[in-house]
């Protein structure tokens, strides 16, 4: 009996998207596929994308990643959320943590109890009732088989790609070095037949994954799939990124700190810190942005600041014909909630679930595209929320406050403003606890909430909240510091020890 022909998968691009695709496909479907990845060292990668969200852990499990080894190799640290600084007005701060907040009942979520207690003057801050929030704020962390702490990682993008490459090549993936010069399409079907490299190497395939970043060489240039621009809602379009030496203990959260025309990030790794300034070029020049970034960094600069131009929005189809675009090639919502690597992972999961072994099915493609659109729109709305609910006076922020937001977000804002309700729809990434933390953090005060908590006398309500807080405080106090846990669990070996 002859073996069935393997499906030839060609991955164009070797950034985080390309190497994640390579690593998971070799691991999960390897013996059914013949996988080639082509990348160009001369072009390089976008070089950012170092903050993740907790879903990364289940995807790593799919890839068989050993957490401590991965963290040691990539210099990763733990992340419990994002500290938003100055987002309502200069000087304020809230944490959007990965944890659940308080306890909910079948009748309503925790915020209804909390709002009632606040009105009676017997509630603490919302973050008092969230374990991950408190652990982040106090710089504490531990995980283990029994632990239920919800966390993600900060990682070094360059090392991560190399780590994934090592695993993929060990599993049989073929890597080709070279610049893709041309995409050859079948004149009859319109499907991509091959990639032609600058040295005239030809790479034939059945399925092509476009991981060429913002260039979008396959789905955008070759297949001509249009782009829906979201710049009117999310006008930041540039970032300057620079790496610095660490100056203190790594905090277990990303910092997102506003400035008058956008925000900047600070991502602590074991061996360095990633810094970047995101801004809208209509409101800030590149020179001013550079000066602002350099004035804000701590530690010694390890590289020159690199400028990245981007456009927020999405390809109208992430899958067209035999081409599936991942990550930046398929769209970008700006990095505020660190969602792009997650989106690579959900896209790959969907692709593996609907893998076109026997040819392309229009129905499968339509469903895939619909889910991708809904997923990205949900994230877009969540990010717009951070910009829109602000009380800042600078022109950039005024514009964000006064703009018309998407109808979908408008409805969510009204729901919370009028009845303190938040929800997670089927394709939504963000849970109720996330919406709650950001809506409250951005200063939204609901006009009404459910009356169930009125059934509780002051002592009972204060007692219930007090118990929650005491339990959280006790559990957090029992954790080691984040640094101490890194030392014990996955500290990168110093060169002298590594030999
Ligand atoms: P790239 O890294 O650009 O890789 C493209 C690949 O295609 C490269 O290997 C390149 O050499 C290759 N290529 C391109 N053209 C050719 C050609 N002609 N021939 C051969 N090869 C070619 N995401 C997060 O999850 N968290 C974050 O904190 C985060 N922060 C970000 C901050 C900024 C400012 C930006 C812009 C993005 C951020 N992202 C973040 C997104 C994240 O960086 C990307 O999702 C991730 O790096 C994947 O990028 P990529 O692989 O699609 O593209």
**Is the minimum distance from the CB of 275 to ligand 1 under 6 angstroms?**
no
**Is the minimum distance from the CB of 71 to ligand 1 under 6 angstroms?**
no
Report the candidate in 18, 42, 36 with the shortest Cα–Cα distance to residue 210: 18
Best mutation site among 19, 340, 344 for ligand 1, i.e. most ligand atoms within 8 A of its Cβ?
340
Six-digit token string for 36: 């080639």
Q: Residue 5: its pLDDT value, please?
A: 87
**Is the minimum distance from the CB of 341 to ligand 1 under 6 angstroms?**
yes
User: What phi, psi does 488 have (nearest 5°)?
Assistant: -75, -35
- Distance (Å) from CA 381 to ligand 1 centroid: 22
Strand duo 254-259 + 262-268: pairing: antiparallel
- Distance (Å) from CA 15 to ligand 1 centroid: 5
**Is the minimum distance from the CB of 216 to ligand 1 under 6 angstroms?**
no
Annotation marks residue 79 as catalytic = yes
Quote the pTM value. Answer: 0.96
Strand duo 174-177 + 33-39: pairing: parallel
Three-state DSSP string of 332-381:
ECCHHHCCHHHHHHHHHHHHHHCCCCCCCCHHHHHHHHHHHHHHHHHHHH
Best mutation site among 10, 15, 164, 309 for ligand 1, i.e. most ligand atoms within 8 A of its Cβ?
15
Q: Residue 497: its pLDDT value, please?
A: 44
Report the candidate in 102, 152, 158, 146 with the shortest Cα–Cα distance to residue 125: 102
**Is the minimum distance from the CB of 217 to ligand 1 under 6 angstroms?**
yes
**Is the minimum distance from the CB of 213 to ligand 1 under 6 angstroms?**
yes
- Distance (Å) from CA 339 to ligand 1 centroid: 13
Q: Residue 494: its pLDDT value, please?
A: 65
Atom of ligand 1 nearest to the CA of 265: 28
Q: Going edge to edge, which strands form the sheet with 273-279?
A: 93-97, 81-85, 254-259, 262-268, 273-279, 238-244, 306-309
Q: Please say whether the beta carbons of 52 and 79 come within 8 A.
A: yes
In which region does residue 319 sit, left (phi positive, over 0), alpha (psi from -120 to 50) or beta (all else)? beta
**Is the minimum distance from the CB of 48 to ligand 1 under 6 angstroms?**
yes
Protein residue with its CA nearest to atom 53 in ligand 1: 213
In which region does residue 93 sit, left (phi positive, over 0), alpha (psi from -120 to 50) or beta (all else)? beta
Best mutation site among 38, 45, 179, 221 for ligand 1, i.e. most ligand atoms within 8 A of its Cβ?
45
**Is the minimum distance from the CB of 50 to ligand 1 under 6 angstroms?**
yes
**Number of neighbours of residue 58 by Cβ within 10 angstroms:** 10
Query: Each residue's pLDDT tens digit in the chain (499 positions)?
Result: 667 789 999 999 999 999 999 999 999 999 999 999 999 999 999 989 999 999 999 999 999 999 999 999 999 999 999 999 999 999 999 999 999 999 998 888 999 999 999 999 999 999 999 999 999 999 999 999 889 999 999 999 999 999 999 999 999 899 999 999 999 999 999 999 999 999 999 999 999 999 999 999 999 999 999 999 999 999 999 999 999 999 999 999 999 999 999 999 999 999 999 999 999 999 999 999 999 999 999 999 999 999 999 999 999 999 999 999 999 999 999 899 999 999 999 999 999 999 999 999 999 999 999 999 999 999 999 999 999 999 999 999 999 999 999 999 999 999 999 999 999 998 899 999 999 999 999 999 999 999 998 999 999 999 999 999 999 999 999 999 999 999 999 997 765 544 3
- Distance (Å) from CA 42 to ligand 1 centroid: 14
Atom of ligand 1 nearest to the CA of 326: 52
Three-state DSSP string of the chain:
CCCCCCEEEEEECCCHHHHHHHHHHHHHHHHHEEEEEEECCCCCCCCCCCECCCHHHHHHHHCCCCHHHHHHHHCCEEECEEEEECCCCCCCEEEEECCCCCCCCCCCCHHHHHHHHHHCCCCCCHHHHCHHHHHHHCCECCCCCCCCCCCEEECCHHHHHHHHHHHHHHCCCEEEECCEEEEEECCCCCCEEEEEECCCCEEECCEEEECCHHHCHHHHHHCCCCEEECCCCCCCCEEEEEEECCCCCCCCCEEEEEECCEEEEEEECCCCEEEEEEECCCCCCHHHHHHHHHHHCCCCECCCCEEEECCCEEECCCEECCEEECHHHCEECCHHHCCHHHHHHHHHHHHHHCCCCCCCCHHHHHHHHHHHHHHHHHHHHHHHHHHHCCCCCCHHHHHHHHCCCCHHHHHHHHHHHHHCCCCCCCCCCCCHHHHHHHHHHCCCCCCCCCHHHHHCCHHHHHHHHHHHHHHHHHHHHCCCEHHHHHHHHCCCCCHHHHC
Q: Residue 116: its pLDDT value, please?
A: 97
Residue given tokens 């963000």 in the structure block = 430
Strand duo 174-177 + 192-197: pairing: unpaired
- Distance (Å) from CA 354 to ligand 1 centroid: 24
Atom of ligand 1 nearest to the CA of 18: 51
**Is the minimum distance from the CB of 16 to ligand 1 under 6 angstroms?**
yes
Q: Please say whether the beta carbons of 213 and 328 come within 8 A.
A: yes
Best mutation site among 11, 328, 332, 383 for ligand 1, i.e. most ligand atoms within 8 A of its Cβ?
328
- Distance (Å) from CA 105 to ligand 1 centroid: 42
**Is the minimum distance from the CB of 441 to ligand 1 under 6 angstroms?**
no
**Is the minimum distance from the CB of 305 to ligand 1 under 6 angstroms?**
no
Q: Please say whether the beta carbons of 151 and 253 come within 8 A.
A: no
Q: Residue 367: its pLDDT value, please?
A: 97
**Is the minimum distance from the CB of 220 to ligand 1 under 6 angstroms?**
no
- Distance (Å) from CA 371 to ligand 1 centroid: 22
Of 6, 79, 118, 317, the active-site residue reads 79
Residues 6+ apart with CB under 8 A from 463: none
Domains of the chain are 7-50+156-229+312-360 (3.50.50.60)
- Distance (Å) from CA 99 to ligand 1 centroid: 28
């Amino acid at each position: 009996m002859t073996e069935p022909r393997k499906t030839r998968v060609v991955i164009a691009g070797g950034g985080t998207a390309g190497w994640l695709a390579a690593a998971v496909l070799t691991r999960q479907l390897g013996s059914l596929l013949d996988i080639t990845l082509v990348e160009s060292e001369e072009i390089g990668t976008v070089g950012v994308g170092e903050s993740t969200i907790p879903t990364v852990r289940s995807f790593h499990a799919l890839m068989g990643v050993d957490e401590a080894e991965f963290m040691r190799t990539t210099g990763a640290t733990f992340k419990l959320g994002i500290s938003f600084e100055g987002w309502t007005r200069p000087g304020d701060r809230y944490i959007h943590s990965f944890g659940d907040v308080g306890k909910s009942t079948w009748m309503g979520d925790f915020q209804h109890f909390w709002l009632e207690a606040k009105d009676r003057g017997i509630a603490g801050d919302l973050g008092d009732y969230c374990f991950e929030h408190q652990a982040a704020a106090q710089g504490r962390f531990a995980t283990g088989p029994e632990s239920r702490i919800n966390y993600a990682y900060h990682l070094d993008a360059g090392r991560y790609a190399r780590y994934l490459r090592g695993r993929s090549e060990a599993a049989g993936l073929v890597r080709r070095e070279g610049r893709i010069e041309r995409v050859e399409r079948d004149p009859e079907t319109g499907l991509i037949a091959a990639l032609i490299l600058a040295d005239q190497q030809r790479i034939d395939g059945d399925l092509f994954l476009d991981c060429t970043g913002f260039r979008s060489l396959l789905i955008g240039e070759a297949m001509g799939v249009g782009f829906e621009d979201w710049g009117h809602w999310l006008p930041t379009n540039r970032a300057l990124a620079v790496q610095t030496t660490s100056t203190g203990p790594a905090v277990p959260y990303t910092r997102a700190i506003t400035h008058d025309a956008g925000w900047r990030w600070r991502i602590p790794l074991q061996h360095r810190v990633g810094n970047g300034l995101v801004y809208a070029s209509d409101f800030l020049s590149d020179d001013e942005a550079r000066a602002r970034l350099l004035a804000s960094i701590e530690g010694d600069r390890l590289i020159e600041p690199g400028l990245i131009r981007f456009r927020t929005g999405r390809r109208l189809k992430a899958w067209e014909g035999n081409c599936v675009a991942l990550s930046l090639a398929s769209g970008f919502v700006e990095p505020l909630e660190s969602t792009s690597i997650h989106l690579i992972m959900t896209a790959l999961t969907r692709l593996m679930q609907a893998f076109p072994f026997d040819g392309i099915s229009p129905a499968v493609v339509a469903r895939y595209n619909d889910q991708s659109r809904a997923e990205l729109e949900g994230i877009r709305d969540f990010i717009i929320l951070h910009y829109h609910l602000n009380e800042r006076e600078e022109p950039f922020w005024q514009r964000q406050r006064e703009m018309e937001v998407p109808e979908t977000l408008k409805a969510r804002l009204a729901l919370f403003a009028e009845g303190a309700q938040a929800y997670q729809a089927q394709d939504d990434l963000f849970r109720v606890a996330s919406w709650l933390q950001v809506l409250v953090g951005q200063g939204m005060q609901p006009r009404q909430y459910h009356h169930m908590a009125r059934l509780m006398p002051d002592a009972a309500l204060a007692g219930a909240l007090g118990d929650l807080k005491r339990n959280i405080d006790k559990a957090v106090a029992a954790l080691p510091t984040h640094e101490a846990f890194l030392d014990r669990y996955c500290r990168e070996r110093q060169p002298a020890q590594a030999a």
